[in-house]
């Protein structure tokens, strides 16, 4: 593949060398580990580089360092903390092309999407810089005279950020940029399927943090084993664990964190539906369906996995969608002409094959695709199947470009189908009917954390809170007031008078012992 020339030069520019150390202490220094695990190029199925495996002692050092750093960082004024994030955004701008290329190499997402991921890091950093000057509290009305009651927010402490391979840098940034301006150090445990991206980001962070004397604010632990996640989940020095991944793993992590009364921010599986209403404009719906279903090879948490189409629009929608699928160029994610890259690994490809087979065994009709592609890498065809919402294979999230299509009678049935899965992340409705749009957005409409009208299930902006309900986990990251997850709330009341009135009018004064005056 000609677009893969210069790999060693790229890694060198990003500060990555063979047999990288296993953990970064956040001050520019790194600790060596043991053994090694490979970062695999999914377009070729070959190793990009070997990465050393951290030891439990490494994580102990990181947590201890983060705890010490917190005592200093929480006292730094929030606007000053924002200056660090501002400079980090500028560093990412300078490295955008190289970092985007590395993300494409390591994850298989096409270069345009990989560059977009770096831009998302920059966008959330810019958001966090603005936030650093407006972290707010509330002035509350006191029922007592000469009392002032306020609600304020304080830094929480070291935050563990556990990320998945599909957005190996952006999800860290959603958490880390906001957590840092809120006054918290961040310990990052990336997916073992994308360790080089994490190393490259950490190298950039180290350089910027050194300029701000921000030792220990951002640190990194690398391993392909399970113990780091368990150790972070059970360590009382880590008040918040932010996990992005499958609902199955989230279900294991949450009780461990809860057992020590810690907080968990979960961003888990999505099983997102896009509804094509009777009045839908297919000229904008079709591109949204295609990008939502095949973007990142179907490996986004917001991937469109279910297509619910009004019966009146079924034939036209399916016909045009199949035509679009036939035109998709599959290949090297670094080739500018490519629209669909590979799956992350052979395990993902086997899961795709199993899901297609299970759908057919359940009675599903294969409308397009369904096959794996030969040659190097983990490529599959974009696949469209006519399915039923109740089938177990449709109720699960399959991380692949597999779209289950199903007809509906009306908007009410469409909303019922949208909601009738265990997950609740993203949803979309294409309609020109105002009443249907409002019904979809109402309390009895979509039960997802994200509900879009006339745009797809993917492509959320950083200004809004990102997350979902039910088995998606209930967490919220990025914009709006998601920053509150990284802080602790404190209600404070000051009495500036010379009396001590109690709330609710309670009089707790001792009875008088004075002798009544003589008449």
Kindly state whether residue 380 falls inside one of the protein's structural domains. Answer: yes
Q: Which tokens hold the place of 512? A: 């008088």
CATH code, 290: 3.40.309.10
Mean pLDDT confidence for 276-287 = 98
Domain match, 284 and 257 both: no
Buried/exposed 85-95: b ≥16 CB within 10 Å, e otherwise: bbbbbebbeeb
The parent domain of residue 417 ranges over 272-462
Q: Where residue 518 falls among pLDDT bands split at 50, 70, 90?
A: very low
Kindly state whether residue 513 falls inside one of the protein's structural domains. Answer: no
Domain match, 276 and 186 both: no
Domain match, 241 and 357 both: no
pLDDT of residue 519: 42
Kindly state whether residue 512 falls inside one of the protein's structural domains. Answer: no
Domain match, 73 and 160 both: yes
Domain match, 112 and 131 both: yes
Q: Is residue 343 classed as helix, strand or coil in its secondary structure?
A: coil
pLDDT digits (tens, 9 = 90+) for 348-366: 999 999 999 999 999 999 9
pLDDT digits (tens, 9 = 90+) for 225-270: 999 999 999 999 999 999 999 999 999 999 999 999 999 999 999 9
- Tell me the C-alpha to C-alpha distance, in Å, between residue 86 and each of 80, 173, 213, 243, 481: 10, 13, 15, 25, 20
pLDDT digits (tens, 9 = 90+) for 438-492: 999 999 999 999 999 999 999 889 999 999 999 999 999 999 999 999 999 999 9
Q: Which of 189, 197, 196, 191 is nearest to 219 (CA)?
A: 189
pLDDT at residue 409 above 50?
Answer: yes
Provide the whole-model pTM. 0.94
Q: Where residue 505 falls among pLDDT bands split at 50, 70, 90?
A: confident
Domain match, 107 and 194 both: yes
Mean pLDDT confidence for 326-346 = 97
Q: Which tokens hold the place of 15? A: 């500060």
- Greater confidence (513 vs 126) lies with 126
Percent of the chain clearing pLDDT 90 (strictly above): 89
Kindly state whether residue 41 falls inside one of the protein's structural domains. Answer: yes
Split into its structural domains, the chain has a count of 2
Rounded to whole angstroms, the Cα distance separating 98 from 118 reads: 10
Domain match, 24 and 86 both: yes
* Residue showing tokens 């009917």: 433
Q: In 10 A of CB 22, how many CB atoms?
A: 24
The catalytic site residues sit at 267, 301
pLDDT at residue 411 above 60?
Answer: yes
């Amino acid at each position: 593949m000609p677009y893969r020339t210069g790999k060693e030069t790229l890694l060198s520019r990003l500060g990555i060398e063979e047999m990288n150390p296993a953990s970064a202490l956040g001050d520019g220094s790194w600790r060596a580990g043991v053994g090694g695990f490979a970062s695999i190029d999914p377009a070729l199925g070959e190793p990009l580089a070997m990465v050393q495996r951290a030891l439990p002692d490494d994580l102990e050092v990181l947590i201890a360092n983060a705890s010490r750093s917190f005592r200093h960082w929480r006292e730094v004024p929030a606007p000053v903390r924002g200056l660090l994030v501002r400079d980090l955004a500028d560093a990412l701008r300078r490295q955008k092309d190289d970092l985007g290329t590395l993300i494409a190499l390591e994850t298989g997402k096409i270069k345009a999407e990989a560059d977009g991921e770096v831009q998302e890091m920059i966008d959330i950093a810019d958001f966090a810089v603005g936030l650093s000057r407006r972290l707010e509290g509330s002035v509350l009305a006191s029922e007592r005279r000469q009392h002032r009651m306020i609600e304020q927010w304080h830094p929480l402490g070291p935050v563990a950020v556990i990320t998945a391979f599909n957005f190996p840098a952006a999800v860290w940034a959603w958490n880390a940029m906001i957590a840092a301006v809120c006054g918290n150090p961040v310990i990052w445990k990336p997916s073992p399927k994308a360790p080089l991206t994490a190393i490259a980001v950490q190298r950039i962070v180290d350089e910027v943090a050194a300029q701000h004397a921000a030792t220990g604010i951002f640190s990194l632990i690398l391993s392909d084993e399970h113990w780091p996640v368990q150790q972070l989940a059970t360590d009382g020095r880590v008040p918040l664990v932010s996990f992005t991944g499958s609902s199955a793993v989230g279900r294991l992590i949450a009780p461990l964190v809860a057992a020590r009364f810690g907080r968990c921010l979960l961003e888990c599986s999505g099983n997102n539906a896009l509804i094509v209403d009777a009045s839908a404009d297919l000229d904008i719906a079709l591109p949204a369906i295609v990008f939502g279903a095949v973007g990142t090879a179907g490996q986004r948490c917001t991937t469109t996995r279910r297509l619910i189409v009004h019966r009146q629009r079924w034939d036209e929608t399916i016909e045009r969608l199949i035509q679009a699928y036939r035109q998709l160029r599959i290949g090297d994610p670094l080739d500018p002409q490519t629209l669909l890259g590979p799956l992350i690994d052979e395990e993902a490809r086997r899961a795709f094959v199993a899901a297609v087979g299970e759908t057919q065994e359940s009675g599903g009709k294969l409308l397009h695709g369904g096959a794996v592609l030969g040659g190097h890498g983990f490529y599959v065809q974009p696949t469209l199947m006519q399915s039923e919402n109740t089938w177990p294979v449709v109720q699960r999230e399959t991380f692949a470009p597999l779209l289950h299509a199903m007809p509906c009678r009306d908007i009410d049935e469409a909303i019922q189908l949208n909601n009738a899965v265990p997950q609740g992340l993203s949803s979309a409705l294409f309609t020109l009917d105002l009443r249907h749009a409002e019904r979809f957005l109402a309390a009895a409409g979509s039960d997802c954390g994200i509900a879009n009208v006339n745009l797809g299930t993917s492509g959320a902006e950083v200004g809004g809170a990102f997350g979902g309900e039910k088995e998606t986990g209930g967490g919220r990251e990025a914009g709006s007031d998601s920053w509150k997850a990284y802080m602790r709330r404190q209600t404070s009341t000051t009495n500036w008078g010379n009396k001590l009135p109690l709330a609710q009018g309670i009089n707790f004064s001792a009875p008088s012992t004075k002798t009544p005056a003589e008449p």
